[in-house]
Structures are given as C-alpha cells and as structure tokens.
Amino acid sequence: MGAPRRTTPRQRSTVPALTSIGATIADRRRGLNLTQQTLSDLSGVSRSTVQALEYGSGSIRLEALTAVAEVLGLHIGVLRPGQAR
C-alpha cells in the first residue's frame, strides 16, 4: 500500500531572499500609492501573483517578477555569495 493521503493542506513555504524582495516590492508599491490590483493590471500578472511576490511565497516565475519590478522602477540583479551590493 502507498503512503497515507495528506488530510491537511500543505503550508506554503517562504524563501528568505524572496521575502526580502517581496518586502521591497510591497514598500515600493505602497510608496507609489498603487493597489495590488492596479499593479497587477499594469504589469500583466494576476493579483494573486502580486500577493505571492509580496509575501515571498509560492512558485514565482522570473517573468512575473521582472514585469512587476519594471512597473515599479526596480532593478533585479544577481550577486555572487559574499559580493558587495
């Protein structure tokens, strides 16, 4: 017999780096006086995707992150471990 079926929903995990990015996105969105829905409309991603980005949860596509960042005037960069910002 297989493993027993899960009866409770899985908790969505958060990734610390995504949580930090999400906080920056939320702060910038609020600073521009945009709602999540307005940001969603401007960036072409769903409101639930904007929400997931801001909370650093779920599975986020790079295309969605860059679309939201572009609307907010944010730059997404990649640093090597230990590299200064």
- The CATH number linked to 46 is 1.10.260.40
Question: Does residue 84 sit within a domain?
Answer: no
Contact 76, 69 (CB under 8 A): yes
Q: What total of structural domains would you count in the chain?
A: 1
Residue-wise pLDDT for 71-82, tens only, equals 999 998 887 887
Question: Does residue 7 sit within a domain?
Answer: no
Q: What is the pLDDT of residue 18?
A: 76
Residue-wise pLDDT for 21-72, tens only, equals 999 999 999 999 999 999 999 999 999 999 999 998 878 899 999 999 999 9
Question: Does residue 1 sit within a domain?
Answer: no
Question: Does residue 60 sit within a domain?
Answer: yes
Question: Does residue 10 sit within a domain?
Answer: no
Mean pLDDT of 10-16: 54
Q: Which domain holds residue 45?
A: 16-72
Question: Does residue 27 sit within a domain?
Answer: yes
How many residues comprise the chain? 85
Q: Is the pLDDT of residue 11 over 70?
A: no
